[in-house]
């Protein structure tokens, strides 16, 4: 049987050496993976802001097209929000399935 890896931890200026089990290492990796997967939600938030910012600018330039532009903006919002939902789904899959 192979020994668990030694890990050196520095807590408040004191070094501590401990052994991590395979389960603890897997849980830590899952948490880091889920955290990395949720970074995409920040990108989706920026994308949604850009969609509605463009809508406001477009309506200010040509108010007669407001109804048509609003439909395009809702489509852009839905597609951008889908990316955030996919990222959230991947984070939950990483945490609870694997």
Q: Which residues pair with 7 in a beta bridge?
A: 18
Percent of the chain at pLDDT exceeding 70:
80
pLDDT of residue 57: 96
CATH for the 6-96 domain, from 1.20.20.10, 3.40.50.300, 3.40.640.10, 3.40.30.10: 1.20.20.10
pLDDT at residue 60 tops 80: yes
pLDDT at residue 51 tops 90: yes
The model's pTM is 0.67
Q: CA-to-CA distance for 13 and 18, rounded, in angstroms? A: 16
pLDDT of residue 69: 95
């Amino acid at each position: 049987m192979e020994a668990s890896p030694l890990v050196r931890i520095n807590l408040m200026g004191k070094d501590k050496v401990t052994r991590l089990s395979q389960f603890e290492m897997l849980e830590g990796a899952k948490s880091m993976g889920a955290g990395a997967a949720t970074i995409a939600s920040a990108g989706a938030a920026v994308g949604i802001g850009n969609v509605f910012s463009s809508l406001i600018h477009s309506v200010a330039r040509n108010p007669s097209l407001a109804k048509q532009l609003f439909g395009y903006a809702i489509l852009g919002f839905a597609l951008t929000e889908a990316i955030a939902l996919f990222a959230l789904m991947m984070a939950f899959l990483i945490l609870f399935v694997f």
